[in-house]
Structure 1
Amino acid sequence: MDFLFLKKYGWYYLNGAKNTILLTCIAITFGIILGLIFALFRLSNNKLLRYIAVTYIEIIRGTPILIQIMILYFGISQYISLPEIPALSKIIGYDSSDFMIGAAAVAINSGAYVAEIIRAGIQSINKGQMEAARSLGLGSSMAMRYVIIPQAFKNILPALGNEFVTLVKETSIVSVIGIMELTKAGDIVRGATAKGFEPLLVAASVYFCITFAASRFVAFLERRMKASD
């Protein structure tokens, strides 16, 4: 196998890896925010909020992420012209409009799965914790915010770490709308070098390095949290 093409095209992989990590961080951040909101909706006593949460979760989990990206991409571009964010464009190296659509699509998809993770985490907390917080004078929302949710997030940290690792790989799907991330970088190098195997092997190796580092970091956080108990 010949990897001499990396001397000329290696920067494509570096730029693609940077954009993949940035895209994943944006998606997991907003995915957690959406997940927390819809998890609370699903646990609410309000039937309308529960219906909204269940509808969102079931639709997102029941349809392919590729279809979701295409619907969002063509739906937004057909009716709305997103403004470019110069600072973001400078970081990723091209117009940020498509990048924002891709990040939004991945975040919306992740939010449905994170919602179920958070819901399970909240329900795993002993009901006595809520009763104890209420007995100390805290309202339901305050008890949920300061007592239940912090404990739940501690319990679901491994699952959220797995979701981050999964998102690193799932972001490859945004290459279909032309976003320059790691998979797209591999495709560009493959076309430029007329090599079918080596460029993809390099991309796979970079993905592995990113996910392995992320997994080790999550394991480190788990050990730290256990030590603090």
Structure 2
Amino acid sequence: MMDFSAILPALPGLWDGMLLTLQLMVMGVLGGVILGTALAMLRLSHNKWLANAAATYVNYFRSIPLLLVITWFYFAVPFILRWITGEDTPIGAFSSCLVAFIMFEAAYFCEIVRAGIQAIAKGQMGAAQALGMNYPQSMRLIILPQAFRKMTPLLLQQSIILFQDTSLVYTVGLMDFLNASRSRGDIIGQSHEFLIFAGLVYFTVSFAASLLVKHLQRRLAV
């Protein structure tokens, strides 16, 4: 017989884990969108070297598992920094995971942003240039605002995926929500109850966010 009574007293500790999960997700999304937008601009560049370099980045990170990226940054980056600087430069588990999320998600956000930009009618750019705007001004003031409006549901959907993927930080010892739930359950001998509770929380948050995405899709379609 399962007993979920121990979950309520453990909520403060679990909430700390959820805050870390949300912090990683929000910062990873913001950094990923910024880097992904820059990569999208490079992919759309008429300079073949820049376009090919961005395409190589995107194809590489979309071809390897996120778990590998997390462990690589956690173990390899301090080694590389020590080789460059000659000193130990620990970046910590949180920072390594954040950098891994940003660089990994940027590859996916890049494709979303690129598709959003290409969905804007070419006449918009011509109209902006007719008003005397240069290319950066046209993109910043005319094209990107319209593109981001169209791709908001896709950006949110990818953010939901990142929210779920943050559970992979257990590999480097970060106490995110899932790891905090698992550890608490192991300590008091109720691992099944705490893992079931964690699963319900992830499902509730992801399902609610998915409903929001569908609502936005209907509104933007109108």
Same fold (TM over 0.5): yes
Gaps of 5+ in 2: 83-87
Measure how far apart 1:225 and its partner are.
Answer: 5.9
What are the superposed Cα offsets for residues 177-224 of structure 1, whole Å, 9 maximum, x if unpaired?
Answer: 011101111220231122342111111122123323434554565677
Of residues 185, 188, 192, the one that matches 1:193 is 188
- Of the three residues 134, 138, 144, the one matched with 1:139 is 134
Match of 1:81 in 2: 89
| C-alpha contact (below 8 Å) 2:184/2:191 kept by paired residues | no
Answer whether contact 2:182 2:191 (CA < 8 A) is retained: no
Alignment-mate amino acid for residue 58 of structure 1:
N
| 1:101 counterpart (96, 106, 128) | 96
Alpha-carbon distance in structure 2 between the residues aligned to 1:188 and 1:11: 14
Query: How big is the shift at 1:22?
Result: 0.9
Contact 1:169 1:207 in 2 (8 A): yes
Partner of 1:9: 10
1:38-63, Cα deviation, whole Å (9 max, x unpaired) = 00000001122112201110110000
The CA distance in 2 between the partners of 1:215 and 1:12, in whole Å, is 27
Cα offsets for 1:121-156 (capped at 9, x unmatched):
000111111111111111122111111111100110
Conserved 8 A contact 1:21-1:168: yes
Secondary structure of the 1:170 match is: helix
Which residue in the other structure is 2:115 paired with? 120
Q: Partners in 2 of 1:43 and 1:61 — Cα distance?
A: 18
Q: Secondary structure of 1:44's partner?
A: coil
Q: 2:161 aligns with which of 159, 166, 172?
A: 166
Q: CA separation in 2, counterparts of 1:101 and 1:210? A: 25
Matched-pair contact (CA < 8 Å) for 1:24–1:168:
yes
Cross-structure match for 1:94: none
Tell me, in whole angstroms, the C-alpha distance in 2 between the residues paired with 1:220 and 1:118: 20
1: distance between equivalents of 2:95 and 2:117? 31
- TM-align CA RMSD: 1.9
Q: Using structure 2 for the length normalisation, give the TM-score.
A: 0.89
Count of paired positions: 214
- Letter of the structure 2 residue corresponding to residue 141 of structure 1: P
CA distance in 1, matches of 2:142, 2:8: 54
Q: Secondary structure at the match of 1:197?
A: helix
Identity percentage over the alignment?
36
Given the two structures, how large is their TM-score scaled by the length of structure 1? 0.86
Matched letter for residue 174 of structure 2: I
Partner of 2:204: 209
> What is the alpha-carbon distance in structure 2 between the residues aligned to residue 22 and residue 218 of structure 1?
20
Q: Which amino acid in structure 1 is aligned with residue 199 of structure 2?
A: A
